[in-house]
Amino acid sequence: MPLRRAFGVAALVFALPVSFALADTTVPSLAGVRGAMQTSDAKKLFDRSMSGAPQPDGFGTALPAGFTTAWLVDQLAPGQDVRDVVLSGAKPWPLRPNSYVAMLCLADSPEKAAAARKYAAATCDSLGDDSDARRVWFGVFDSMGTGAPRLVARTMQPVATPTDWSDTNIDQPVALENGDAGSAQAAMPSSWSRFDLAAYQLRAGQYAFGVRAGWSEGYAGGGADFEALYLFVIDGNALKVAFAQPMAFDKMLAGDWNKDGTRSHDVSDAANALTVLPTVTGGYHDLQLREKARGKWRRTFKWSVEKGRYE
């Protein structure tokens, strides 16, 4: 089994009663699983877990001129040990001229970081529990091409905002199905995969940038992947999470054996698109999640002035 599904919460899944959503379709063998998925988002998640092929550099780990890992630690996570860094990255942010978004992914010790760099290079994936957690920081920099980039804003602590699974069409990871959907620990992603620099314009002259994060889990004869979107906004010299919602999942569960030695699989998936609406609440555009593949599910989010995020 590929590493991403062999790790994660596989051991936990075997020990717990799992509630599966009704499958979208059943295919006669594993070879038909990917083709049965309805959304390209789910197929990408499946490929990342199952293909073993190199993935795109989602965080810009080939650092641009002016950026080094040690310098990013000083800027984004002062006081942290540079030896704990698993991954560092920076990419231009086209919607904010002369700007870069940057990130750091740290393990809890130099030994764990070295092991992660050796066996899972260029990924920010944990084992799905407290034994090998990842801590992530993000920042925005201005750079005019001469001299060192200037820090504009950063997350003041490692990101600790859980994904909100309270009202979604996306299947939940098993840890949430068998517990509290608001559990902060279970709802924190176990992996951080890439920047999402789409045009998330929240109000005139202000864009948010996105980060895709997720979970993978293995079952006896199957597995699932889940993806969330985090939106970060600049608030003074701080970066704050304004939105953290599930966006996609793929799931397969092995079924009956066939006479030719293949095995049927139940397959289900779903994915959402985020739309910035023209309506405004509290000075910020409303947002709406819309189910893809001709789905009918919708959910609209409005800015909470009191909480400084979308609800």
> Could you list the mean pLDDT of each consecutive 10-residue stretch along the chain, which spans 311 residues?
41 38 78 92 90 85 96 98 98 97 97 90 74 93 90 98 95 80 76 97 97 92 94 98 98 92 93 98 98 95 97 97
Distance CA 194, CA 212 (A): 5
Contact criterion met (CB below 8 Å) for 184 and 160:
yes
Q: Is 61 helix (H, G, I), strand (E, B) or coil?
A: coil
Determine the pLDDT at residue 140. Answer: 98
Determine the pLDDT at residue 111. Answer: 96
Determine the pLDDT at residue 15. Answer: 33
Determine the pLDDT at residue 175. Answer: 81
Determine the pLDDT at residue 130. Answer: 62
Amino acid at the residue 67: F
Determine the pLDDT at residue 9. Answer: 37
Cβ burial, residue 261 (10 Å; 0-12/13-18/19+): exposed
What radius of gyration, in Å, describes the C-alpha atoms of the chain?
Answer: 20
pTM above 0.85, yes or no: yes
Q: Is the dihedral of CA 15, 21, 26, 31 positive or negative?
A: negative
Contact criterion met (CB below 8 Å) for 244 and 274:
no
Using DSSP bridges, classify how beta strands 99-106 and 85-92 pair: parallel, antiparallel or unpaired.
antiparallel
